[in-house]
């Protein structure tokens, strides 16, 4: 199931440092149609020598390769936290979200890795880190996953259930996994303008989440009309191309300065 060339190109990228994290803002609606950036989701890219950039759609399966998942996971957490530290030193107060693969989450060394990389006095507080766990993949051992994530929460990290609604056991995951945030998958957001049914699903998730004291991010917000409707539905957090695409860290900082948020005075 793991195409050799993909796995090779990803491990080569890791080895030769052509792996990059891009960052996409997660925002809260502010006064007068403004956005208040609250978090940055780190998303993997491979920057090639010819200047082109590969997105995970071209190497997604390799992310879960048993021999790669752990080193990639460590790279992402370490790099994301370094960036958070840079931003914090610039006075920028942002949560950093990283995607955790299921093989890494279920690796017996996962908590060791997290403890080594995250619980460091010289670094940003563990509270700055959100771990996104995708709902679309099957988690073989839900109890083990749940226990590991609970330990991360005790250390102060936030847990986010990604791609919510697309899995085979969404509600079971929600019941068993300790989550602070649900990210409604973009497939439910895309057609909320056209379809009553999709709107009803989003309303239902928002209502259930609010009763559980869980925050909600709508993913894949692509137009002002989508953003407007989601705000009218009281969706607390939005992420999507309409606000900003994933960007290199330097461009992210420029974007933040332009929208004028998140810097402490
Ligand atoms: P995800 O975690 O659900 O990330 C959101 C994806 O939606 C990103 O795709 C982002 O670029 C895309 N997106 C954001 N806003 C919009 C929008 O308005 N419209 C549309 N059509 N798409 C939007 P990307 O960067 O290609 O990543 C795809 C998936 O690859 C991620 O989905 C995540 O599951 C995985 N991935 C990315 N980075 C990592 C990583 O560091 N580790 C692991 N394990 N998986 C990762
Ligand atoms: Mg994600
Ligand atoms: Mg997602």
In this structure, the number of other CB atoms found within 10 A of the CB of residue 138 comes to 10
Return the ligand 1 atom nearest residue 57 CA. Answer: 26
> 44 CA distance to ligand 1 centroid (A)?
8
Pocket of ligand 1 (CB under 6 A): 24, 43-44, 55-57, 60, 63, 76, 99, 101, 132, 134, 162-163, 186, 219-222, 239-241, 246
Return the ligand 1 atom nearest residue 246 CA. Answer: 11
Burial of 209 (0-12, 13-18, 19+ CB in 10 A): buried
**pLDDT, tens only, 133-183:** 998 888 899 999 999 999 999 999 999 999 999 987 888 999 999 999 999
> 183 CA distance to ligand 2 centroid (A)?
8
Q: Whose CA is nearest to atom 28 of ligand 1?
A: 56
Q: Hey, what long-range contacts does 44-50 have (CB within 8 A, 24 or more apart)?
A: 44/19, 44/20, 44/72, 44/76, 44/99, 45/19, 45/20, 45/21, 45/246, 46/9, 46/10, 46/13, 46/18, 46/19, 46/20, 47/18, 47/20, 48/18, 49/18
What stretch of H or E contains 144? helix 142-154
CA distance 122 to 129: 15
> 121 CA distance to ligand 3 centroid (A)?
31
DSSP assignments along 24-89, one per residue: EEEEEE-STT-EEEEEEEEEEEEE-TTS-EE-GGGTGGGGG-TTTHHHHHHHHHHHHHHHHHHHHH
> 134 CA distance to ligand 1 centroid (A)?
11
Task: Locate 213 and state its tokens.
Answer: 């004291």
Q: Among 56, 74, 167, which residue has the most ligand 1 atoms within 8 Å of its CB, making it the best to mutate? A: 56
Q: In terms of Cα–Cα distance, which of 166, 150, 152 is closest to 73? A: 152
Over pLDDT 70: what percentage of the chain?
96
**pLDDT, tens only, 50-102:** 989 999 998 888 889 888 999 999 999 999 999 999 999 999 989 999 999 99
CA 232 to chain centre: 24
Strand partners, 99: 132
Task: Locate 207 and state its tokens.
Answer: 């209502």
This prediction's pTM: 0.95
Q: Whose CA is nearest to atom 35 of ligand 1?
A: 56
């Amino acid at each position: 199931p793991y195409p050799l060339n993909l796995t090779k190109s990803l491990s080569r990228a890791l080895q030769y440092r052509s792996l990059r994290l891009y960052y996409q803002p997660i925002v809260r609606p502010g006064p007068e149609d403004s956005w208040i950036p609250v978090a940055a989701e780190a998303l993997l890219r491979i920057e090639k020598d010819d200047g082109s950039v590969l997105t995970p759609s071209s190497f997604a399966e390799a992310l879960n390769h048993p021999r790669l998942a752990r080193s990639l996971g460590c790279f992402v957490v370490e790099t994301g936290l370094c960036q958070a530290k840079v931003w914090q030193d610039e006075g920028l107060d942002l949560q950093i979200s990283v995607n955790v693969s299921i093989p890494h989450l279920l690796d017996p060394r996962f908590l060791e890795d997290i403890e080594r990389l995250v619980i460091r006095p010289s670094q940003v507080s563990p509270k700055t880190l959100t771990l996104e766990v995708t709902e679309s993949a099957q988690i073989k051992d839900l109890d083990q996953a749940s226990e590991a994530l609970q330990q991360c929460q005790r250390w102060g990290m936030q847990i986010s259930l990604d791609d919510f609604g697309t899995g085979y056991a969404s509600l079971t995951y929600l019941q068993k996994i300790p989550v602070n945030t649900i990210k409604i998958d973009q497939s439910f957001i895309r057609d909320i303008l056209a379809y009553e049914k999709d709107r009803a699903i989003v309303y239902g998730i928002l209502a259930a989440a609010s009763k559980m004291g869980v925050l909600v991010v709508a993913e894949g917000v692509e137009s002002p009309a989508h953003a407007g409707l989601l705000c009218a539905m009281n969706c607390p957090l939005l992420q999507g191309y309409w606000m900003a695409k994933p960007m290199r860290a330097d461009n992210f900082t420029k974007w933040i300065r332009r929208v004028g948020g998140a810097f402490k005075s």
